[in-house]
Every structure is written in structure tokens, then in C-alpha cells.
Structure 1
């Protein structure tokens, strides 16, 4: 049986996380960005999802006062469709609640209907559009948010 673990991201995880990034996004973050997030950004909180010690996903968020912003969430393509993204997002939301967050927001591509449906399951609703948000193809982003009780 597979052992599933979600834990705080460490510097040693960065190379595997970058592999998830490259497999998931057309404009992936580089190792230096994750290094800066973990070592220099006091508002950053990153968590990884492992199966049998292999990193197959991660989520990041910034927490400032009582607001949280999801920066990235990704699952390796071969593991998608198994509700692992939901499990990871639920964990991030639980961590946000523990940190005293009252609002959580994120941006998602207008074309990413699967992700939007998942976020709606957690109560997020569209709050606006960021025009030409994604630099790889100038796609708009839907801003989604939820008040956390």
C-alpha cells in the first residue's frame, strides 16, 4: 500500500519540486525562486505531497496578517485524477486556518476548468479577472476567494 505524506517543504526537496513544476507549468519557477521563498520570505509556507518518499505534488501560500494567497499548487501529471490535488488543497486550507487566516485567494487560468471546479468544492468563488495575467500566452486569470470561518 502506498504511503501518502504531506509535510513542510525543505531545501533538500527543491530539485524534486522543480521537476513537478516543469511537468505542470509552461512557465515553471526555477530552483532559485523556491530557495528564496524558503529562506527569505517570512510570509511563505510551502508543503509537499509524497507517495512512498517521492514528491508528486506541492502547494505554496503567502500569509500576511489574516489573508492567505495560494502561490502555486501542482500534482505530477501521472498522479492527477486521484483527488490528490483536493487532499493537498484541503491541507493548505487547514494550515491557513491554524495560522488565523480569515480570507484565502488565488489566481487560476480561465481555461483551467478542472482546477476551478475543485476550488469551488472548497467554497471559493470568482471575484474578478486579471487580464493578460499569464506571461507565456497572455491568458487571463480568474481571481477566486473564500472567507474562512
Structure 2
């Protein structure tokens, strides 16, 4: 969608991001945790806006030459318009700018939509974290994208 705009995470977007976080995850990050990401020297986040409305965000930690995606979420009312794709593109662009060679993430075994999106960007399943999610002990699939 042409109206989707990518921008950096700033404190002014915190309220909208927390709202999306709470709508998207069984165990959402707290306001304190999200605020700390603003000053975390390892953290890089992107915000996706549609006509000045925050519709999604994604973040990762960059350590040495690897990136670890910490969270990606799109507001339920705006899913299916390409915001998730735009978030991943933004995170990959940051990796390229900072000479990050590989990118990893964990995703719920049951999250087929997310796994399919990641596969479209070249992520491959390379492992399982048993009982990773505290809310229901669901396993996480570890996915990697190498040679960015």
C-alpha cells in the first residue's frame, strides 16, 4: 500500500505502540520495558504509519553482526494491508546499513501467518525452543535469515 510510511520509534509513538502491543500479544511488554527500548543502545525499532496513524511497529537488538527481532505487531484493524511486510523491509534495511549479516527471531508454532511472512523474506526454520511462551507453554520456532 503506497500510503504506508516507515519512521523511527520515538517517545511520541509510545501510547499507540503500547495499545498495539496489548491487542497483539497474550503477554505484552510493559510501558516500562518499551520505554527502556528508546535508550537501549542495542535496540532499533521502526514504526509504520498509514495517513499519520500508527498501525504497527517492529524492533530488534543488534549485537555484533547479528540482529534478533524482539517484536513485530500490526494493529488488528490494519492487518493484511502490507504493514508487516513494510516492517520487515525496514528492519532488513537497518541491518544492511549497519553491516549486520544475519537476523533471527522466535515465532509461536501456531502463528502460521507470521511464519509464512518470514519465509517470504528468506527466513528458514532452524530450531525449536520448547515451552518458550509463558502464557500457554507453546513452543517457539527459531528462524534465521543469513547473508543479508
Q: Structure 1-normalised TM-score?
A: 0.95
User: 2:76 aligns to what?
Assistant: 77
5 Å-filtered alignment, 1:1-149, equals 3-39=3-39, 41-149=40-148
Q: Distance in 2 between matches of 1:8 and 1:91?
A: 10
Q: Which stretches of structure 1, 4 residues or longer, exceed 6 Å deviation after superposition? A: none
**Which SS does the other structure have where 1:23 is aligned?**
helix
Unmatched tracts of structure 2, length 5 or more: none
Deviations 1:76-104 (A, max 9, x none): 01111122201211111111111100010
Report the Cα offset of residue 112 of structure 1: 0.3
Distance 1:62 1:136, change over 3 A: same
Report the Cα offset of residue 121 of structure 1: 0.6
Q: Structure 2-normalised TM-score?
A: 0.95
RMSD: 1.4
Unmatched tracts of structure 1, length 5 or more: none
Distance 1:131 1:4, change over 3 A: same
